[in-house]
Amino acid sequence: MNRFSARRQNWRKVINIVMLSFTGLATLLVVTPLIWIIGYVIREGLPAINLQFFTELPTPVGVSGGGIANALVGSLMTVSLGLIIAVPVGTLAGVYAATHPDQPLGTLLRFGTDVISGVPSIVMGIFAYTLIVLPQRHFSAFSGGIVLAFIMVPTIVRSTEEMIRLVPNSLREGSLALGAAEWKTSLSVILPAALNGVITGVMLAIARAAGEAAPMLFTAFGNPFMNTDFNQPVSTLPHMIFVYAIAPYDDWRAKAWATALVLITLVLLLNVAARLLVWWRGRLFKSLK
């Protein structure tokens, strides 16, 4: 090897180290605030968390104890209602968009979901307020669920579409060549093949919807008491964070941190659960006799 090529090799090593440092630095820049935020929430929130925090209702100022049982139930109600609406609508629309890319309706759908996902969630809240709350003349968990469905649908549609596009066309042809109709092919071959990705998309949508506070101010409104009636207002976790955090009492602010910690943990658990489900499905599929 002559000196010239050795020099080039050294230069290449230098460039490699520099580029690696840049990418590493960028990664650090992303990860640091993430860990910082989570660490801070844990530090501030953990002391206020005990069993009562999950089982009791909020207490008036000055009264010790109290928890977020109402908000846990409220979040569960609104997010579940949103899911029940958004998952079938979103996945089916995603299937349509992926299998009919040239149709005007598919283009319209893509455009529509892009626009909706760009609309600030507070605008969605006002929209639902005008559409549901005003005619009904009262706030309700129902209207909150509808807003969350609106917020979840675009994410689910787009992720479903992307995942289905990744399914090889040969599978689709294999099914059609057996005489299966298009819808049958989509539902029983293509959607299952893309299921892991679709579930991930749904999880992302839940995580986003579960953290929405702004639209809840106009719909589910908030409720310091326990309520399981879809026709009555409920409190939700993000709304509870908002109420506790803007209060001028140290006790309440600690509860805001604690609620935030609960919300983050729940979303994380949901994500882990989804991954486990996907993994378990794969395993079950291989080992079942």
> Residues interacting with other proteins, by CB under 8 A?
102, 168, 170-171, 173-181, 184, 188-189, 192-193, 285-286, 288-289
In the complex, least distance from residue 99 CB atom to other proteins, rounded to whole angstroms = 11
Measure the CA–CA gap between 234 and 212, rounded to whole angstroms: 14
Measure the CA–CA gap between 263 and 237, rounded to whole angstroms: 7
Q: Give the bridge partners for 221, in sequence order.
A: 234
Give whichever of 225 and 279 is closer to other proteins, judged by the CB atom. 279
Give whichever of 98 and 267 is closer to other proteins, judged by the CB atom. 98
Q: Please state, as a whole number, how many other Cβ atoms lie within 10 Å of the Cβ of residue 124.
A: 21
Measure the CA–CA gap between 119 and 212, rounded to whole angstroms: 13
Give whichever of 137 and 286 is closer to other proteins, judged by the CB atom. 286
Give whichever of 3 and 289 is closer to other proteins, judged by the CB atom. 289
Measure the CA–CA gap between 66 and 60, rounded to whole angstroms: 9
CB 149 within 8 A of CB 85: yes
In the complex, least distance from residue 155 CB atom to other proteins, rounded to whole angstroms = 24
In the complex, least distance from residue 276 CB atom to other proteins, rounded to whole angstroms = 19
Q: Give the bridge partners for 234, in sequence order.
A: 221
In the complex, least distance from residue 112 CB atom to other proteins, rounded to whole angstroms = 23
